[in-house]
């Protein structure tokens, strides 16, 4: 199918459902056929369990279904929910940010989504710090959010989401997209990232997120002050913090944005040893 015909399908389905793209639900439908193939084919999904957030009019869903019958859809738009249910799909009609991911246990699942932009950053954080049965993901982001997720230290883009996501996932860029690849065209550029869970990430939890958030308050001030207040809540002294920093070869005058994601892991584990 050419891009023009994917656009034709989208327009025909919108007319059939008697609806139009809902901005509040981030409905920018994917119409670039080669990107659709890249997303669906990135991981081997043949007969595997796939979860798709926001199937919309099915640009990805139809391709996924050619590979596996084990697909669960998560969608908020009522007309779209009925459309897929009538075709026999299992659809969770709820906000992807409120899903109980443990309900999908014990299987390994692959998450695929052209995410509505407004939920993408909080969703990646949730899926990183919760124990979920998802071990692979291919997700579409606003390019700037994808850059924050992959950012190296010492950049403006480096922050909480970079530290948390890079401790949990091995990340790869899959594709860059322009506004023309969607209908209607968004005002921003987009990027698709692939995530593969690291085998040694079982220690990551909401407590780690709380720690990283604490460290990034006043990101330009000395990290030491933040570590000392955190350590105090654990009954540890400033001297103990200085010893930990020295043992990890982290300079006492470092700022939050200077530390590698791995250094946050080491600090967190040391400060929570007792
Ligand atoms: N997968 C389709 C595609 O690629 O063309 C549609 C993607 S569109 C960017 C986002 C989809 O997510 C829409 O179908 C929208 O209704 C749905 N959606 C928006 N907010 C949601 C939420 N909080 N939870 C689940 N689905 C949501």
Measured distance CA(166)–CA(141) in Å, rounded: 16
Query: Considering the entire predicted model, what is its pTM?
Result: 0.96
Topology of the domain covering 206-271: Helicase, Ruva Protein; domain 3 (1.10.8)
- Residues touching ligand 1 (Cβ under 6 Å) are 25-30, 53-56, 59-60, 74-77, 80, 95-97, 114, 116, 119
Q: Indicate which residue's Cα is closest to atom 25 of ligand 1.
A: 75
| pLDDT score of 274 more than 90 | no
In this prediction, residue 32 has a pLDDT band, given cuts at 50, 70 and 90, of: very high
Asked if the model's pLDDT at residue 2 lies above 80, the reply is: no
Beta strand 29-30 with 49-53: parallel, antiparallel or unpaired? unpaired
DSSP 101: G
State yes or no: pLDDT of 1 exceeds 90.
Answer: no
What whole-number distance in Å separates Cα of residue 29 and Cα of residue 17? 15
Q: CATH code for 3-197?
A: 3.40.50.150
Residue 4, pLDDT > 70, answer: no
- The confidence score (pLDDT) of residue 107 equals 80
- 223-273 pLDDT, tens digit each: 999 999 999 999 999 999 999 999 999 999 999 999 999 999 999 999 998
Domain locations along the chain:
3-197, 206-271
98 Cα to the center of ligand 1, angstroms: 14
Task: Say how many CA atoms lie within 13 Å of 213 toward its Cβ.
Answer: 8
pLDDT band for 159, please (50, 70, 90 cuts): very high
What is the CA(83)–ligand 1 centre distance, in A? Answer: 14
> Could you give the percent of the chain with pLDDT greater than 70?
98
């Amino acid at each position: 199918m050419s891009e023009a015909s994917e656009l034709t399908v989208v327009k025909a389905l919108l007319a059939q459902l008697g609806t139009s793209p809902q901005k509040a639900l981030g409905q920018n439908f994917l119409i670039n056929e080669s990107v659709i193939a890249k997303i669906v084919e990135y991981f081997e999904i043949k007969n595997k369990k796939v979860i798709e957030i926001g199937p919309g009019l099915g640009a990805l869903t139809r391709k996924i279904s050619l590979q596996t019958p084990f697909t669960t859809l998560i969608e908020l738009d009522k007309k779209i929910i009925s459309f897929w249910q009538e075709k026999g799909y299992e659809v969770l009609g709820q906000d992807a940010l409120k899903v109980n991911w443990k309900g999908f246990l014990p299987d390994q699942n692959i998450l695929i989504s052209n995410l509505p932009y407004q939920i993408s950053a909080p969703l990646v954080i949730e899926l990183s710090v919760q124990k979920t049965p998802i071990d692979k993901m291919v997700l579409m982001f606003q390019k700037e959010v994808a850059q924050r997720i992959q950012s190296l230290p010492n950049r403006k883009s480096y922050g909480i989401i970079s530290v948390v996501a890079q401790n949990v996932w091995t990340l790869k860029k899959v594709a860059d997209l322009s506004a023309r690849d969607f209908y209607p065209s968004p005002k921003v550029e987009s990027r698709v990232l692939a995530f593969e869970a690291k085998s040694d990430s079982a220690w990551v939890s909401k407590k780690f997120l709380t720690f990283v958030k604490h460290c990034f308050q006043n990101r330009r001030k000395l990290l030491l002050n933040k570590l000392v207040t955190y350590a105090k809540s654990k009954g540890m002294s400033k001297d103990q913090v200085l010893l930990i920093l020295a043992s990890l070869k982290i300079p006492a005058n470092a700022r939050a944005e200077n530390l590698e994601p791995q250094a946050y892991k080491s600090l967190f584990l040391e400060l929570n040893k007792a």
